[in-house]
Amino acid sequence: MEANGFYSGATLAIHGGAGRIVRGRMPGARDAELRAVLARVLGEGRARLEAGVRALDVVQHAVEALEDDPLFNAGRGSALTSDGGVEMDAALMDGEAGAAGAVACVRAVRNPIALARRVLDDGRHVLLVGEGAQRFARECGVTGADDAWLITDERRAELASARAAGRVSLDRDEPGALGTVGAVARDARGRLAAATSTGGMTNQLPGRVGDSAILGAGTWADDATCAISATGHGEAFLRVAFAHEVDAALRLGGLTLRAACEHALARVAARGGEGGCIALGARGTPLAAFNTQGMVRGWVTPSSSPAVALYADEP
Ligand code: ASP
């Protein structure tokens, strides 16, 4: 992904987390599995963009597909809290209207991003959490999921080792481990949208909320500036209002999209955080920026094949 083009047509970019994604150190067939899933999701997104589907719907569908795949730390396969439960955060934002929906600390929902979309469409509120969000999910008829669906053996093993080591860990502290997901899109009419979904951090306290569900931290879209989906140490991204910092650097500082993302990431690093983002501007091709060893990422346009990358040395 590069920021120096001036392509202003429809585009979708997705990510599956940034972290210790190191060539030759991925377990088993994970490298190939990740590339295959990203290519499939991008292919489906391209078909939607070609059909004229609006950016908000395109990012929602992409994130739902990634939530359903246990390879990622969102929906099925979410990281586990210190009490062994699943608490998921998700948000999406429509850059045209500035409308947004978010949910945090939700259990027993198959696709938290679909619930966030219901919050956006309902329009009364922007962020619902915990039991209230779950009640709203039931009222809306959003598909539920039990722990047998959401919790995987790999996540149980990660919680056991995090407990034994007495640490709260990012999903990607181990080489090749599984990441938070996100998507940014621009549709044929130039509308931008962003969506992010996560299970948070392994062994996090129940009730902890990271940056993903917080607008202006992990998720942001404004047609005039950019669409952003971030991933990494949520506390650091929250403390620098990461996504809004990118927006402000574009809007007020006149930086390029890449310079704006790198500026905001430097602030994350100064707070001791690691991670990255995918970003898309009102014009130009999408980009990924990260201060980790790798980031699971890909992008597509109606006229290009899906491009997928995992390591820092890939374009
Ligand atoms: N940012 C997410 C959080 O802090 C975690 C991640 O991106 O992996 O909840």
**73 Cα to the center of ligand 1, angstroms:** 9
pLDDT in tens, 167-223: 776 655 555 566 999 999 999 999 999 999 999 999 999 999 999 999 999 999 999
Could you give the CA distance from residue 251 to residue 193 in angstroms, rounded to a whole number? 17
> Does the CB atom of residue 196 touch ligand 1 within 6 A?
no
Q: What is the mean pLDDT of residues 21-27?
A: 87
Question: Could you give the residue numbers annotated as active site?
Answer: 180
Partnered with residue 222 across adjacent β-strands are 226
> Does the CB atom of residue 281 touch ligand 1 within 6 A?
no
Partnered with residue 194 across adjacent β-strands are 93, 184
pLDDT in tens, 262-302: 999 999 999 999 999 999 999 888 999 999 999 999 999 99
The candidate with the shortest Cα–Cα distance to 226, out of 55, 63, 41, 57, is 55
**69 Cα to the center of ligand 1, angstroms:** 17
> Does the CB atom of residue 202 touch ligand 1 within 6 A?
no
**136 Cα to the center of ligand 1, angstroms:** 24
> Does the CB atom of residue 58 touch ligand 1 within 6 A?
no
